[in-house]
Chains A and B, each alone.
Chain A
Amino acid sequence: MTRRWTSLQDSDATPFDAGSTGLTSKTSGEAIRELVNRVTVSASPGFSFGRTGNLSSGTWLLRPGSVPSNKSGINVGIGTPLLLKVTVASENEDTYSVGIYQHDGNEINLNLVTTVSITAVRKQVFDLSAALEFDRQIAVRVLTGSAKNLGVDLQLSGSTS
């Protein structure tokens, strides 16, 4: 049977079952656009913080460029940002906790978003669902305990618009 162009369904008119995908779209077209947004957001930028040495409680990690993240953090340019994962890595099997903060630069309007606790391991992955704010800077701090040569990386989701 030959189909005419006019009989083909538009992707925005094709229902989409979002069950167990984590997507919210109701049509195939919307779902594709939602995925494009998510992939783009996950790749850029990298939210990575770190610092060398034996870090004690109260130490702010540095953003790329060796800038203390409490002074200038990484600004969030992602719409409706959600913190999905925090991964930590240290040289030794350290016990400590890390606080994820947001501020408007130079610790202005500083607020603690969430905390993760690490007990005697060198690496750990935390699954979260913590709301962040668009156009505010992220900073990371060792809250308790100590860690040597620590790296903390964040994975965010959101939209490019």
Chain B
Amino acid sequence: MSRILKNNTATLIAISDTGLQIPANGQITIERTDLELFSASLEIVPLISGGDVTVNFLGADLGPADGLFLIQELFLKDDKNVDGGFPSDVYLPTQNIDGGTP
């Protein structure tokens, strides 16, 4: 399932720790092989948090918190507690992928 990054600004955004850039007012699709790069990226965090970049998943634009959750999913999986739950300092998505709330 593809994850799309949308550039909401009129300037090109370079995410150099992934080696990729998003055209001004454009978008890129994250390749599956690049998921690990994005989950480890420090540069993508303020871009999504600040609203310059929006994560789109299955046709839905996600809010910053859910967008970051989706991008950092690989690391969050590693952070799971032994009972399968997430540590208390890790936020959970506030929106289902269909746009509804959990």
Contacts and interface: CB of A to CB of B under 8 A. Distances in A.
Interface SS majority for chain B = mixed
Interface stretch (A39-47, A64-72, A85-93): A64-72
B16 A70 contact: yes
A53 interface: yes
Interface string B15-45: 0111111010000110101101100000000
Interface residues of A, number: 16
B43 to A, nearest CB: 11
A52 B16 contact: no
B31 A68 contact: no
A contacts with B: majority SS? loop
A68 B18 CA distance: 6
Contacts of B28: 56
B19 A59 contact: yes
A78 interface: no
A60 B19 contact: yes
A60 B36 CA distance: 16
B19 A70 contact: yes
B92 interface: no
Given A58-B20, A71-B19, 4 more contacts: A53-B29, A59-B20, A66-B36, A66-B37
Question: 8 shortest A-B CB distances, which residue pairs?
Answer: A68-B19, A60-B19, A53-B31, A58-B21, A52-B33, A52-B31, A59-B20, A70-B19
